[in-house]
């Protein structure tokens, strides 16, 4: 069986395993191993020559970011409950999330919910950094985020546009052969994702989408989304540009 690039990266970056305690499923995540460093080294190098996101490599720092995010009441995504934080062993135990991992076969409706949830999160001043499509689980109309070790509080639009690019990139990589053959299905899901994202009325969301048509964000889009899918996404963004142009319809944004 052929293994795509994303599966290889996921294989290197496995940091979690399922525990069963009194018939209850839990997830043990360890941050101290080499795998996590490989994971984030690969992601960081892939953004060369443009650095757009403040990644951290230190295991404790990654754990602290995830713990902070899971403990903070943020709008949008559902989150697994946090059971144990081990600062000495640099590991956590959290709830196991039942549901379907989001992938290219997931319905456009779920992608719209996912985009809306990400927009709500961005409008509250948080970015995820790792928006790999496999980090999201759909369950009964809700979307859960199950990996947040690079989440930060921020109002910088380049951090928000980074989240958009990584999502489009990893979806394209995960389904490359079938999505190149059927680009319409891929673009339908990206369009639904962006439409949901733009349902949020705050200016940073619209600015993040607008920035994908210019400058460093546009460069990253073409570097990270595989060809020819990047061309399709670029065309889609131009078609949506009437919604994303900065004009009088976008309110002045004042964080908090």
Three-state SS across 191-230?
A: HHHHHHHHCCCCHHHHHHHHHCCCHHHHHHHHHHCCCCHH
Q: Identify the sign of the CA torsion 38, 42, 43, 48.
A: positive
Percentage with pLDDT > 70 across the chain? 82
Task: State residue 50's pLDDT score.
Answer: 72
C-alpha separations of 40 from 84, 115, 141 in Å: 24, 24, 31
**Rounded Cα distance, 8 and 24, in Å:** 30
C-alpha separations of 220 from 46, 53, 137, 244 in Å: 9, 12, 26, 18
- The DSSP bridge pattern shows strands 82-86 and 91-95 to be antiparallel
- What tokens appear for 231 in the block? 């061309």
Task: State residue 58's pLDDT score.
Answer: 85
User: Which range, of 3-17, 42-56, 87-101, averages the lowest pLDDT?
Assistant: 3-17
pLDDT-derived band of residue 57, with 50, 70 and 90 as boundaries? confident
**189-222 pLDDT, tens per residue?**
999 999 999 999 899 999 999 999 998 899 889 9
Task: State residue 116's pLDDT score.
Answer: 98
Task: State residue 203's pLDDT score.
Answer: 93
pLDDT-derived band of residue 37, with 50, 70 and 90 as boundaries? very low
**Rounded Cα distance, 203 and 132, in Å:** 24
**61-112 pLDDT, tens per residue?**
999 999 999 999 999 999 999 999 999 999 999 999 999 999 999 999 999 9
Q: Which CATH class is domain 5-244?
A: mainly alpha
Domain boundaries along the sequence of the chain = 5-244
């Amino acid at each position: 069986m052929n293994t795509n690039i994303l599966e290889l990266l996921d294989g290197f970056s496995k940091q979690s395993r399922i525990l069963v305690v009194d018939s209850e499923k839990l997830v043990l995540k360890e941050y101290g191993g080499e795998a996590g460093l490989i994971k984030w080294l690969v992601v960081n190098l892939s953004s060369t020559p443009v650095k757009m996101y403040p990644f951290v490599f230190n295991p404790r720092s990654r754990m602290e970011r995830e713990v902070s995010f899971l403990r903070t009441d943020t709008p949008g995504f559902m989150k697994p409950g946090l059971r144990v934080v081990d600062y000495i062993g640099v590991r956590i135990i959290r709830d196991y999330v039942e549901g379907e991992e989001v992938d290219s076969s997931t319905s456009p409706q779920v992608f719209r919910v996912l985009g809306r949830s990400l927009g709500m999160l961005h409008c509250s001043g948080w970015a995820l950094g790792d928006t790999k499509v496999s980090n999201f689980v759909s369950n009964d109309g809700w979307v859960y985020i199950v990996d947040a070790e690079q989440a930060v509080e921020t109002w910088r639009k380049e951090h928000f546009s980074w989240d958009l690019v990584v999502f489009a990139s990893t979806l394209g990589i995960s389904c490359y052969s079938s999505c190149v053959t059927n680009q319409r299905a891929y673009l339908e899901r990206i369009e639904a994702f962006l439409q949901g994202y733009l349902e949020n009325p705050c200016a940073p969301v619209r600015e993040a989408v607008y920035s994908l048509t210019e400058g460093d964000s546009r460069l990253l889009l073409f570097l990270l989304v595989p060809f020819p899918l990047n061309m399709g996404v670029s065309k889609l963004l131009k078609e949506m540009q009437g919604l994303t142009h900065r004009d009088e319809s976008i309110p002045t944004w004042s964080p908090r």
